[in-house]
Amino acid sequence: MHKLLARLRLLGRAGLEGFEALGRSVIMLSRAIFGRSVFGSRYQLLLAQLYSVGVLSLVIITVSGLFIGMVLSLQGYNILVTYGSEQAVGQMVALTLVRELGPVVTALLFAGRAGSALTAEIGLMKATEQLSSMEMIGVDPLKRIVAPRFWAGFISMPILALIFSAVGIMGGAMVGVNWLGIYEGSYWGVMQNSVSFTDDVLNGIIKSVVFGFVVTWIAVFQGYDAIPTSEGISRATTRTVVYSSLAVLGLDFVLTAVMFGGL
């Protein structure tokens, strides 16, 4: 009985701590992105972050997109050719990428590539008292450090997802058309007929906007809230990748159910 109570208490405490952290993260984000900007030329800070968060992620995103498109095309061809409908490879590749793999895989890669970097950077700034000294200079680190990083991630994600899907479709064409010999006209034609802008492309963009918001929010909050020691920062970085991945996959199911599940 005693042990059971202790377990229950632990569970309760973990729950409370979780909600407390959620509350802190909401307060942090609202302080960061609402209200007057402290720094006049904030767009320059934003540009610098867009470069390091977005542009520097381009390599991993395009290479991954290319390979995923190629694999999809190869697998799709092998299955569809048994029904004699290999012309539909283009449709399959495009729908898979635009609806699912584009937003989801981009978000997962982004969490690993950029999210972890954001967490480590902000956490280290905290550990080396840079955030504290900024506060004492009279500059709000939420506005100066957190806000531009958050917006950069939020803006980059949908663009990266679009690039991922586009490169993937071209990779699919490379394998399907140039290597396996699907008729080029049907690869593109079937794709054009079956992919709708509002139902597929727009829904994919909405997904990646949501993922961009969530992943960047988790990343900046974990950095800002990290315990300022080497162990604390390493745990925060791990948490960023784990929480972001779980959040992306979980939200993807919910969003898919709402968008395509006929709910």
Binding-site ranges for other proteins (CB under 8 A): 31, 35-36, 38-39, 128-130, 132-140
Q: With respect to other proteins, which residue has the nearer C-beta, 78 or 133?
A: 133
Q: Whose Cβ is closer to other proteins: residue 3's or residue 36's?
A: 36
| Closest distance of CB 140 from other proteins, Å | 6
Q: Which is nearer to other proteins, 5 or 137 (CB)?
A: 137
CB atoms within 10 A of CB 33: 16
**Closest distance to other proteins from the beta carbon of 170 (Å):** 37
| Residue environment code for 36-57, b if the CB has 16+ CB neighbours within 10 A, otherwise e | eeeeeeeeebbeebbebbbeeb
Residues 106, 104: Cα–Cα separation, whole Å: 5
Nearby residues of 147 by Cβ (< 8 Å), 6 or more positions away? 32, 33, 37, 42
CA distances from 48 to 44, 56, 124, 138, 153 (A): 6, 11, 19, 22, 12
How far apart, in whole angstroms, are the C-alpha atoms of residue 166 and residue 58?
13
CB of 39 to other proteins, least distance (A): 6
CB of 22 to other proteins, least distance (A): 21
Nearer of residues 69 and 141 to other proteins, judged by Cβ: 141
In angstroms, give the least distance from the CB of 45 to other proteins.
11
- Pick the closer one to other proteins by CB: 55 or 257: 55
Instruction: Decide if 161 contacts 208 (C-beta within 8 A).
Output: yes
Q: Return the biggest CA–CA distance within the chain.
A: 72
CB nearer to other proteins: pick between 44 and 178: 44
- Least distance in angstroms from the C-beta of 189 to other proteins: 51
